[in-house]
């Protein structure tokens, strides 16, 4: 079991999550300096080709790439919830994510149980959250792989909807501001940002409608659903960052914080896209 490598936590520690005061927590997104928003947009432009490039490498490199991302997200999540031996457990989650998928004798859904070792060594009050790692991180990352297996267009549409939702939510929230969306979960989110994100998702879906022959007008409806799911994923992570008094899950990506801060929308959106594709409700 991976928890026996607890001693690894003393080696090569990553920067801990950034912690903030209560006053900082309630700053409105309109107070974010414009250069920071530019950095976020540029980071997004870089991250898109990284994901697409990983996919274009093909098997087995695409699977290994997703395994690495799964491990990094798990690490930030486990550090966020203050899990013991987070580094060792996250490494094992990423490793066994790949192994479980490669071995035909293991059902794919078994990745949902990859959080068990982490749950055995964490603080008692946080063990359920550590156990949740398999469901929250590994299972959605599996659906990204399944989406990519269906078609390249499907993966590109998922990535485009999620990232355009994030980008336009930020722009609308910054320029318009207005009433808070869910102040008890995230004081920075506004209704303007929510509708801005929907606009971004529908706009990029319009491009797919033009260039993908199999796309139907129903794709706009599913784009709105995926956009809302992604924004729910963002709020979900924000809830736990507030719970543990953390601003960012890490500092890996300029303008975004950690990789979990960047992938939280995917963790909610990807399973929905896979289900829609699997049941033939989307054809791309």
**What is the per-residue pLDDT across 133-147, written as a single tens digit (0 to 9) for each?**
999 999 999 999 999
Residue 19 falls inside a structural domain: no
Q: How many CB atoms within 10 Å of residue 145? A: 21
Tens digits of per-residue pLDDT, 33-77? 445 667 667 666 667 777 888 898 888 899 999 999 999 999 999
Q: What is the C-alpha radius of gyration for the chain, rounded to an integer number of angstroms?
A: 19
What number of CA atoms fall less than 13 Å from residue 149's CA on the CB side?
12
In angstroms, the CA 241 to CA 248 distance is: 7
**pLDDT given at position 45:** 67
Decide: 134 and 111 in contact? Cβ < 8 Å.
yes
- Predicted confidence at residue 10, as pLDDT, reads 36
Lowest mean pLDDT across 67-71, 242-246, 251-255? 251-255
Q: Which of 30-34, 117-121, 249-253 has the lowest mean pLDDT?
A: 30-34
Does the residue 177 lie in any domain? yes
pLDDT for residue 121 is more than 70: yes
**Percent of the chain residues past pLDDT 70, beyond the cut:** 80
Question: What is the model's pLDDT at position 49?
Answer: 75
pLDDT confidence of residue 206? 97
Would you call 279 exposed, middle or buried from its count of C-beta atoms within 10 A (0-12, 13-18, 19+)? Answer: exposed
Q: Is residue 23 part of a domain?
A: no
Whether 212 has a pLDDT exceeding 50, the answer reads: yes
pLDDT at 84: 79
Whole-number pLDDT of residue 31:
47
Residue 207 falls inside a structural domain? yes
Which residue segment(s) compose the domain that 114 sits in? 36-278
Q: Looking at the domain assignment, is residue 161 inside a domain?
A: yes
Statement: residue 14 has pLDDT above 60: no
Q: How far apart are the first and last CA of the chain?
A: 41
> Is residue 33 packed enough to be buried (19+ CB in 10 Å), middle (13-18) or exposed (0-12)?
exposed
Tell me whether residue 16 is in a domain: no
Cα separation, 125 vs 129, whole angstroms: 9
**Region 181-207 average pLDDT:** 92
**Residue of 249, 227, 215 whose CA lies nearest to 86:** 249
Q: Please give the pLDDT value at position 51.
A: 80
Look at the chain and report how many structural domains it folds into: 1
Contact 185, 213 (CB under 8 A): no
Question: Does residue 140 sit within a domain?
Answer: yes
CA angle 22, 23, 28 (to 5 degrees): 115
DSSP per-residue string spanning 111-173: GGGTTHHHHHHS-GGGHHHHHTHIIIIIHHHHHHHHHHHH-HHHHHHHHHHHHHHHHHHHHHH
Question: For position 37, what pLDDT does the model report?
Answer: 67
In the prediction, which pLDDT does 133 show? Answer: 95
Q: Which of 131, 95, 126 is nearest to 116 (CA)?
A: 131
């Amino acid at each position: 079991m991976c928890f026996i490598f607890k001693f690894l936590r003393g080696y090569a520690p990553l920067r801990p999550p950034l912690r903030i005061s209560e006053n900082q927590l309630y700053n409105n997104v309109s107070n974010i300096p414009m250069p920071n928003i530019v950095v976020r947009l540029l980071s997004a432009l870089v991250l898109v080709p990284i994901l697409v490039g990983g996919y274009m490498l093909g098997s087995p490199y695409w699977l290994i790439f997703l395994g690495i991302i799964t491990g990094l997200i798990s690490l930030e999540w486990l550090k966020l919830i203050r899990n013991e031996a987070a580094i060792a457990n996250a490494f094992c989650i990423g490793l066994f994510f790949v192994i479980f998928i490669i071995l035909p004798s293991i059902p794919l859904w078994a990745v949902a149980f990859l959080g068990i070792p982490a749950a055995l060594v964490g603080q008692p009050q946080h063990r359920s959250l550590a156990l949740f790692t398999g469901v929250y991180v590994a299972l959605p990352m599996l659906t990204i792989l399944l989406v990519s297996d269906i078609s390249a267009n499907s993966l590109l549409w998922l990535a485009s909807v999620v990232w355009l939702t994030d980008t336009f939510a930020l722009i609308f929230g910054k320029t318009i501001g207005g009433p808070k969306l869910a102040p008890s979960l995230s004081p920075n989110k506004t209704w303007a940002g929510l509708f801005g994100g929907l606009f971004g998702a529908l706009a990029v879906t319009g491009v797919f409608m033009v260039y993908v022959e199999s796309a139907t007008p129903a794709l706009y409806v599913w784009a709105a659903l995926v956009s809302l799911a992604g924004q729910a994923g963002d709020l979900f992570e924000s809830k736990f960052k507030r719970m543990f008094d953390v601003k960012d899950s890490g500092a890996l990506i300029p303008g975004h914080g950690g990789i979990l801060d960047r992938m939280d929308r995917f963790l909610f959106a990807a399973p929905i896209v896979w289900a829609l594709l699997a049941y033939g409700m989307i054809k791309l």
